[in-house]
Amino acid sequence: MSKAELSVSNISWPNGHDDVAYRTLAEQGVRKIDIAPTKALTSVHKGAIDPAEVAVFNAHVRSFGIEVAGIQSLAFGRTENIFHSDKESLADFQKHLSRILVLAEQVGARTVIFGAGNTRTVGDLSDTEIRAKATDFFGELDAQVGVSGVTIGIEPVSTTYTNGAEAFGTESTEIVDFVEGFENTRYVFDSFAVQDSGENPLLLLNRATNTRALAAHAQIAEPALSPHNLESPLDHDLFDEAFSRQLKVFNRPAVMAIEMLQPAISEDVTAEVLTTAIDSARTFYRRSL
């Protein structure tokens, strides 16, 4: 059976700890990372992406034998909402995301993951209005991808991250049904959001696979993005069984990305926490990884 490759998001270590994180990942045999663009590149904050900065970033990461697998946290610092913002604001948001899609090609990322719960709250819109607005928004991005090989992934949104407000894709089945009509847009499995919604991962992923909706990129996430530990409240064994069954359907190696948030800690503790997270992921997902 095929195995997924482990990745670790760069939101999993504090600012300034990139080198110790890269060294730790390399020592643990992890060769892939996911990146939040605003954390990896300062030029993203300025509304542009500097090719020279990208080149320096690529060379530095690759010097540790590490590649970028995915891009996440696409809307960090943004205030737009795809269902309620005016046309001018949405156009500016689309330009930002278009730059991220170009960045994905520049850094070699295969999947760009759209979470951004606060950009997806729906208020009192009808299901028909939600579907129409979402189709317009993601349709433009899907068309931009073209033949680049980049996948736009939409992950489910837990209401934990929207202060209880309903959002597009709170339930994974809504995303699975939605992406059926797109060429380059897929559903990204997220462990915490799926458990939070109460959906059955076995049935969910079978359905997603049968409709070609499942991205070859999954998120191993913890409540509040806290560090992994062996007392995790999530049913990782069930998630592992569900995802491992789907690995044979992908036409490229799948990725499972550790996603957690770290406080300001020392570099020694960063190395220790990352090592523990990697060990835990390999224990939890022994069939998939």
| Residue 56 vs residue 146, higher pLDDT | 56
- Read off the pLDDT band of 275 (50, 70, 90): very high
Q: Is residue 279 part of a domain?
A: no
Q: Is residue 130 part of a domain?
A: yes
Kindly report, residue by residue over 185-229, the tens digit of the pLDDT: 999 999 988 988 899 999 999 999 988 999 999 999 865 445 555
Q: Is residue 275 part of a domain?
A: no
pLDDT of residue 1: 52
Give me the mean pLDDT over the 89-97 stretch.
94
Tell me the DSSP string of 151-192.
Answer: EEEE----GGGTTT--BTTSSHHHHHHHGGG-SSEEEEEEHH
pLDDT at 113 over 80: yes
Kindly report, residue by residue over 136-172, the tens digit of the pLDDT: 999 999 999 976 789 999 999 988 778 888 999 999 9
* Beta-bridge mates of residue 152: 112, 185
Nearest partner of 35 among 257, 195, 269, judged by Cα: 257
Q: Is residue 273 part of a domain?
A: no
Give me the mean pLDDT over the 163-185 stretch.
93
Residue 10's CATH number: 3.20.20.150
pLDDT of residue 226: 55
The C-alpha angle 261, 270, 189, rounded to 5 degrees, equals 35
How many Cβ atoms from other residues are within 10 Å of residue 38's Cβ? Answer: 16
Domain containing 55: what range?
6-267
pLDDT at 288 over 90: yes
Are the C-beta atoms of 83 and 133 separated by less than 8 Å? yes
Q: Is residue 223 part of a domain?
A: yes
pLDDT at 240 over 90: yes
Q: Is residue 147 part of a domain?
A: yes
pLDDT of residue 280: 87
pLDDT at 124 over 70: yes
Mean per-residue pLDDT of the chain:
91
pLDDT of residue 224: 45
pLDDT of residue 56: 97
**pTM listed for this prediction:** 0.93
| Residue 79 vs residue 45, higher pLDDT | 79
Tally of domains within the chain: 1
pLDDT of residue 232: 63
Q: Is residue 185 part of a domain?
A: yes
Beta-carbon contacts of residue 192 (< 8 Å; ≥ 6 apart): 158, 160, 219, 221, 222, 223, 234
Question: What are the phi and psi torsion angles at 128 (to 5°)?
Answer: -65, -45
pLDDT of residue 234: 78
Kindly report, residue by residue over 63-90, the tens digit of the pLDDT: 999 999 999 999 988 899 999 999 999 9
Q: Is residue 253 part of a domain?
A: yes
pLDDT at 9 over 60: yes
